[in-house]
Amino acid sequence: MPRDGFGREINYLRISVTDRCNLRCVYCMPLNGLRFLPGPELLTAVEIEQLVRVAVSIGFAKFRLTGGEPTLRADLLEIVARLAAIDGVGDLALTTNALLLPRLAQPLKRAGLKRVNIHLDSLNPATLERQMRWGNFAAVWDGIMAAEAAGLVPIKLNVVVAAGYNEEEAVELARLTLERDWQVRFIELMPLGGGECASLSIQRYVSNIETRRRIETALGALTALEQGDLSDEARNYRLPGARGVVGFISPVSEPYCGTCNRMRLTADGKFHLCLLNDDELDVRKALRSDQGTQALARILRRAVELKPTGHHLLEGRSTQVRSMYQIGG
């Protein structure tokens, strides 16, 4: 397994397949001024497969497709099928807003997808529409049900908590775990990309310390679960008598850089070395000039070696070049 310059074992690649989205969450995508990648700049399904084969050959085992909204990629099923067929792809997951899952969940499962993380900020339709803007609670819920029925489990829900939007609703979302075998994970806002979404992410930041207090006050003490996978960015807990798990992803209040095991690939073929820094290494050029698998493996190894550690979120600084929808979370 490749190790970075800080001795961390890096075996997890998150692959963004598009920068487009059918939602405009307030902290992720502005309503105006968006410029999306032209189609020819996106890595093709074949190119993504080539890179994953190289990643597997040097020790990567976990893969996640993300975006933008990955379900908008017309060839998503082909991408999943190509990756699922590779020996050594141990885990293949998808991060999605679930809107298109009623149609896609079964075909994705058949193509070889293992599980999904679904983004849902509120159980209250009005709050959800305010925060995820073009969102529609009933449609997201139908998507979650479709994923569960298709066996894309365990269902993990990602909740981004923003002051003045949904901070009061953490309790109802956590309550879902009492009856359901789901993992509901609360994520702290991160200011990426330097624009209006970054400013909002700073102004509306809510610490997970506060979210946890709110949940425990309403639903009882959370019991810490053993950290099975040390590189899991979530700290996991259980409510009294609950079937599911409540998780906290706290990059600002409790940074987890020391156990980070991730590399990110942008939709236009750059290894983005850390979510919260700007450093990137181009791999598309090598792919398209037919430099061969040895050259691709060298670039990926170099990306791992150069992976930085630490961030400046507490000072309100982060990556300036790309926003969350251009990296994939």
Q: Which stretch binds ligand SAM (CB under 6 A): 186-194, 219-227, 257-265, 294-302?
A: 186-194
Q: Is 29 in the site for ligand SF4 (CB under 6 A)?
A: yes
In whole angstroms, give the CA distance from residue 256 to residue 260.
Answer: 6
Q: d(Cα 186, Cα 212) in Å, to the nearest integer?
A: 9
With CB under 6 A as the contact rule, which of the stretches 63-71, 183-191, 200-208, 299-307 interacts with ligand SF4? 63-71
Say how many CA atoms lie within 13 Å of 228 toward its Cβ: 3
Among 27, 60, 137, 165, binds ligand SAM (CB under 6 A): 27
Range list of β-strands (E), 62-151: 62-66, 91-96, 115-119
Of 2, 67, 135, 247, the one binding ligand SAM (CB under 6 A) is 67
What are the structure tokens assigned to 84, written together? 């699922």
119 near ligand SF4, rule: CB under 6 A:
yes
The answer to whether the bond into 2 is cis (omega within 30° of 0) is no
Rg for the chain, CA atoms, rounded: 19
Binds ligand SAM (CB under 6 A): choice among 18, 97, 131, 318: 97
* CB of 160 vs ligand SAM, minimal distance in Å: 4
- Which of 116, 155, 187, 252 touches ligand SAM by CB under 6 A? 187
Kindly state the tokens that stand for 317.
Answer: 């600084």
When asked if residue 109 is in the footprint of ligand SF4 (CB under 6 A), the reply is: no
**Piece of the chain touching ligand SF4 by CB under 6 A; list 61-69, 185-193, 223-231, 288-296:** 61-69
Strand pairing report for 280-282 and 62-66: unpaired
* Number of C-beta neighbours around residue 302 at 10 A: 14
* Among residues 67, 244, 247, 251, the one that binds ligand SF4 under rule CB under 6 A: 67
Q: Which stretch binds ligand SAM (CB under 6 A): 2-10, 108-116, 137-145, 321-329?
A: 321-329
